[in-house]
Amino acid sequence: MMLRTHSQTSGWSLTEQDPYNNVVRTTIEAMAATLGGTQSLHTNALDEAIGLPTKFSARIARNTQLILQEEAYIPRVADPWAGSYMMESLTNDVYNSALEIINEVEELGGMAKAIASGMPKMRIEESAAKRQAQIDSSQIAIVGVNKYRVAEEDSNDGTGKVDVLAIDNKEVLRAQNDRLDRLRSTRDEVASQAAMDAITEATVSGTGNLLDLAIKAARARCSVGEISYAIEKVVGRYKPEVKLVSGTYKTEYSKVVLKPGEKDPISETIKMTEDFAEKWGRRPRVLIVKMGQDGHDRGAKVVASGYADLGFDVDVGPLFQTPAEAARQAVDADVHVVGASSLAAGHKTLVPQLVEELKKLGATDTLVIAGGVIPQQDYQYLYDHGCAAVYGPGTRIPDAAQDMIRKVEARLHESEAISA
């Protein structure tokens, strides 16, 4: 019954601004994990808030673990915090809080039913929205982002741009397709089909061990997509219901006590959306999309919840959309803006494709914006390919919302002038 634990340092805590601070953040988090007794550890690279890790940054991340092991000698002590009242008390607090959630899940009928109800995602997104509001309002300090910012981020004092790993997505797609073609042409097709049929039969009958069958199918050189489809064609594909957390961002941000003469960005933005609705007959409407194989949607959901609290009408697309699917949803919902959230370095491929798909559907007035993990050196490329704005890590939601409203109004005025 021993708990075998794998830990990963936080990618969320990494910042684009002052990126070398991320080495310190990762070291602290890695040390916390090892002092807590983790058996396995992954350390994030310093540039993961900017782009994909380079060999340089990955080596630092790897060496962080080696230094904790070989120079700090942490693994030599089984329980470094043993007997600490503070640590035992905090552990007890975590245990009691976790038990409350576990009991709640059990009352819902287990984790599968809890997932179907949307409870876990809503709890995570509520917590994320609250935290983002605390950062945007400077209730929580993030060094180099909302406190102790350097004057010149392009300087050579260790705070400026870092090298980013550039990936040719078209070449990756071509190479992967070639690998799949070779795989299917050289495998034992009878054996691989039999392995997939066995998975399908087990899914239909509800008997057998799907994990064991999936491993056998992989050994028969079946692809992940084929193994998944062997189940999907019986039970379908799970599509979570998209729900947004309401009120959390605005409520948390509003806890800040304003200084005399200081403007409230929340009230300012809400006033802008109200004025927009009065002038144009409806509120500004935005669709937040996650395209490609990037399966991370927490950042997109936080932004969507924030926009909704600021008076926008907000639609959210499902994970793994194609640019064509995102464009069709945008046209059907009659949105003013499509916001593409990027994490996995697909922005230079997916955002231009989205712009082109909108043009094919005649939605030339629909703005495309991008946000998330996008290197600054890629901003101009996106602008040149039809992107109206890029809101990188550290951008406050009210600032992005206000800029977006101004850009939508400018586009609407342009359309009016052309029509006249």
8-state DSSP, 26: H
What pLDDT is recorded for position 310? 96
Helices (H), 187-281: 189-205, 210-219, 224-235, 248-253, 265-280
Q: Which three-class secondary structure state does DSSP give residue 412?
A: helix
Which of 369, 404, 384, 390 is CA-nearest to residue 289?
Answer: 369
What pLDDT is recorded for position 172? 87
Distance of CA 165 to the CA centre of its chain: 19
What pLDDT is recorded for position 116? 87
Instruction: Specify the residue for token string 């409230």.
Output: 264
The list of the chain residues with pLDDT below 70 reads 1, 152-161
What pLDDT is recorded for position 218? 97
What pLDDT is recorded for position 152? 62
Angle between helices 119-136 and 397-419 (to 10 degrees): 90
Helix (DSSP H) and strand (DSSP E) numbers for the chain: 16, 7
Tens of pLDDT along 186-243? 999 999 999 999 999 999 999 999 999 999 999 999 999 999 999 999 999 887 777 8
| Phi–psi pair at 52, nearest 5 degrees | -75, 145
Q: Which three-class secondary structure state does DSSP give residue 41?
A: strand
What pLDDT is recorded for position 1? 62
What pLDDT is recorded for position 153? 56
What pLDDT is recorded for position 294? 81
Cβ(397)–Cβ(132) below 8 Å: yes
What pLDDT is recorded for position 334? 96
Cβ(175)–Cβ(48) below 8 Å: no
What pLDDT is recorded for position 416? 84
Q: Which helix (H) or strand (E) holds 306?
A: helix 298-309
Which of 330, 399, 322 is CA-nearest to residue 358?
Answer: 330
Return the structure tokens found at 44. 């994030």
Count of other CB atoms within 10 angstroms of residue 58: 18
Which of 359, 360, 358, 340 is CA-nearest to residue 350?
Answer: 340
The model carries a pTM of 0.84
